[in-house]
Copies of this chain bind each other. A is one copy, B any other.
Amino acid sequence: MDFITNIDDMRDYSRKARGEGRTIGLVPTMGYLHDGHLSLARAAREECDIVVMSIFVNPAQFGPGEDLDKYPRDMERDRRLAAEEGVDVIFAPSAEEMYPGGYATYVEVSGALTETFCGGSRPRHFRGVATVVAKLLNIVAPDKSYFGQKDAQQALVIKRMAGDLNMPGEIRIVPIVREPDGLALSSRNTYLSEDERRQAPGIFRSLKRAEELASAGELSAARIKEEIRKILRQGRDIRIDYIEIVDADTLEPVETVKGNTLVAIAAFVGKTRLIDNVVISS
């Protein structure tokens, strides 16, 4: 497995692979890999000749007072896990390499996709995400890149950005990977105390309940939200950031479940903010 930290070296590597007629899959991550990331690498491994995993804790997507410094890092472990999944290259540039002095350009997706929802509580977050993904796509020039459905809004923002800017290559969205008790995998799960960890699966339980309700014909968003709230309140250290029931493509709020509808939750468990979602339909 190659380990590249320099943008020009990464570009050369990709150019050479393409010249040899090989397809490239990109898995962008912020590292501290868990099985969610590895499921993206496995999807890339199945579909592409070369798998590039980027590991970059992107300062541009953290707001002031957010957990940039605290964000967990373990490059040695990441290298081992990536190698085990058959990743061909880790691309791990420094912040200085990605955002050198005088850096001034940002990619912004406007409208409902970014302004509601996670964007409401983290205004600059998606600008940072769109910018770094545009940069990575330009550097690596992958045939396909892989993102997780767990960050549903992020996946939509990236698809919109890549489509709007006519970036070549396909954006692939991979299903959520969960612990046996339903908790969606996240690097932030490591912040949870034992007690908080026991409460955290309440988030997925509430989403399952929403799914059941819709299957049983309860299509009112307000009533589904109320049921979700009841379940979340059972967790003593759970504090709801948002519960949203929205069109799965546009993120416009809906009053009634109709077609593909995204039920998304962000909640603090203790001090740790977790997100999860399911897509339900009428």
Binding site for B on A (CB under 8 A): 7, 11, 102-111, 113, 130-131, 134-135, 138-139, 141, 160-161, 164-168, 250
Contact = CB atoms under 8 A, between A and B. Distances in A.
Contacts of A131: 165
Main SS class of interface, A: mixed
B138 A168 contact: yes
Task: Determine how many copies of this chain the complex contains.
Answer: 2
Q: Which of A7, A135, A164, A250 has the most CB of B within 10 A?
A: A164
A66 to B, nearest CB: 20
Q: Which 3 A-B pairs have the closest CB atoms?
A: A105-B164, A138-B166, A104-B111
A16 to B, nearest CB: 14
Contacts of A113: 104
Contact of A105 (B105, B107, B168, B250): B107
A165 B107 contact: yes
Contact of A7 (B102, B105, B106, B166): B166
Nearest to A106: B108
Contact of A168 (B11, B160, B250): B11
